[in-house]
Amino acid sequence: MSDAARLKSTIYVGGLENAVTEKLLADAFLPFGEIVDVTLPKPDLPSSKDPHRGFGYIEFELEGDAKEAIDNMDQSEFFGRVIRVAAAKPQKDSNEGLGSKTAVWETEGWIAKHGGVSAEERLGTQQAQNATTPEDAMTGLEIDVAGPHL
């Protein structure tokens, strides 16, 4: 299965109670289709006592099963909490977005997408440079004495 197909058949489940395990999550979503994988990401800090970060991913065998799970389980109650179920988004590269160590405008695609000057802006700049501006009336005048004459 290609990465694009895997992404389309993977859902995000957020707002999970700490008591939820991979098995419990799989059991809750099993009615919607064959489950390939269940992942509950662990906390970043090793000192954390939480078993997971409050969200997880479920990969289904078929894309239609994932859509069915989203339609039926989004905003439902699971272990006393209202959970959010949505299509999973592709994982960002560590050099992109919040938490990266590179400024957003230094990333390769950002300048091409946001920093390029449009043809209209370029034309307006050229016209402004080519237009003759009226000379300032005060240019070239020399004042020998400043202040009031006594």
Distance between CA atoms of residues 66 and 69, nearest Å? 5
By the 8 A CB rule, do 15 and 54 touch?
Answer: yes
Query: Are the C-beta atoms of 48 and 16 separated by less than 8 Å?
Result: no
- Backbone φ, ψ for residue 59 (5° rounding): -105, 125
- What does the DSSP 8-state code read for residue 45? S
To the nearest whole number, what is the mean pLDDT of the chain? 81
User: What span, in angstroms and rounded, lies between the C-alpha atoms of 81 and 31?
Assistant: 20
Q: 18: Cβ–Cβ under 8 A, 6 or more apart, which residues?
A: 50, 51, 52, 54
Give the pLDDT band (50/70/90) at residue 48.
confident
Read off the pLDDT of residues 62-93 as tens digits, 9 standing for 90 and up: 999 999 999 999 999 999 999 999 999 887 66
Is pLDDT above 60 for 56? yes
